[in-house]
């Protein structure tokens, strides 16, 4: 069973996270399927632009807390999980194809990070995004310790992380973290129209643009990913964090 679907619409490859029963929460199989899909899209000459979206009620609800015990069972499992999450960031940011995010519902934790890794973001007006990691005793990754302060400034970035408050599509637009806000039923069509326009541009020039834009980030972002990797390993292995995650997961299930 694949947790990611792909389809082509002319020169646009639509990559859809497809685990709707868990709001596309991050699991090992989803990470592997998403990496494979993004790599195939980046290697396919017929694909000029990638649209990344999610099936069902959410873009991506972050880590699947039901799998936390398995993910944190050993140093090897922790490292494998974090490496695979960061691999998606590299797939999105350090390949030649532009990525348009079509983001709706919830973009939480890792889902918020992947949204920030996209080149352009079309948000549905029902989007809610936030970082719960500090409440859980976990840590952010996706290079956002480098990317977010550059986008919104140090104090606003710290507020987003430390308080973990839910951000609406309009607040994200005001911060410059999404490019368009549209009704839910217009989100994918809007993203596809933008992607189709981008696809008419020179693929070689776009590849050069992504290479040069990320060139200045490469060293600092790579360093940020290394530091985030180390911090996330510490967080996953922290017994206090395990208690916090379990308490949050229990409250979430009781609220269903």
Q: Which of 67, 133, 228, 253 is catalytic?
A: 133
- Cβ partners under 8 Å of residue 160, min gap 6: 130, 131, 148, 152, 167
| 165 is annotated as an active-site residue | no
Q: Which of 21, 70, 83, 113 is catalytic?
A: 113
| 113 is annotated as an active-site residue | yes
Cβ count near 239 (within 10 Å): 9
Which residues make beta-bridge pairs with 180? 122
Cβ count near 111 (within 10 Å): 27
Rounded CA-CA distance 115/132 in Å is 15
3-state SS, one letter per residue, for the chain: CCCEEEEEECCEEEEEECCHHHCCCECHHHHHHHHHHHHHHHHCCCCCEEEEEECCCCCECCECHHHHHHHCCCHHHHHHHHHHHHHHHHHHHCCCCCEEEEECCEEECHHHHHHHHCCEEEEECCCEEECCHHHHCCCCCCCHHHHHHHHHCHHHHHHHHHHCCCEEHHHHHHCCCCCEEECHHHHHHHHHHHHHHHHCCCHHHHHHHHHHHHHHHHHHHHHHHHHHHHHHHHHHHCHHHHHHHHHHHHHHHHHC
The catalytic residues are 113, 133
């Amino acid at each position: 069973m694949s947790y990611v679907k792909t389809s082509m619409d002319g020169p646009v490859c639509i990559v859809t996270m497809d685990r709707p029963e868990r709001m596309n929460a991050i699991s090992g199989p989803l990470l592997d399927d998403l990496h494979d899909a993004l790599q195939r899209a980046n290697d396919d000459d017929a694909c000029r632009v990638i649209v990344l979206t999610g099936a069902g009620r959410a873009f991506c609800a972050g880590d699947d807390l039901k799998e936390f015990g398995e993910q944190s069972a050993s140093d090897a499992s922790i490292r494998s999980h974090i490496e695979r999450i960061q691999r998606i960031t590299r797939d999105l940011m350090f390949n030649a194809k532009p990525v348009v995010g079509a983001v709706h519902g919830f973009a939480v934790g890792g889902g918020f990070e992947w949204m920030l890794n996209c080149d352009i973001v079309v948000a549905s007006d029902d989007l809610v995004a936030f970082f719960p990691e500090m409440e859980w005793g976990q840590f952010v990754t996706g290079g956002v310790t480098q990317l977010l302060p550059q986008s919104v400034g140090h104090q606003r970035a710290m507020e987003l992380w430390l308080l973990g408050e839910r951000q609406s599509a309009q607040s994200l637009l005001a911060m410059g973290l999404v490019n368009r806000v549209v009704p839910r039923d217009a989100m994918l069509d809007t993203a596809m129209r933008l992607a189709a326009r981008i696809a008419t541009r020179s693929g070689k020039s776009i590849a050069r643009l992504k290479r040069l834009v990320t060139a200045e980030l490469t060293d600092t972002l790579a360093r940020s990913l290394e530091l985030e990797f180390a911090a996330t390993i510490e967080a996953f292995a922290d017994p206090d964090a395990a208690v916090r995650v379990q308490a949050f997961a229990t409250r979430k299930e009781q609220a269903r």
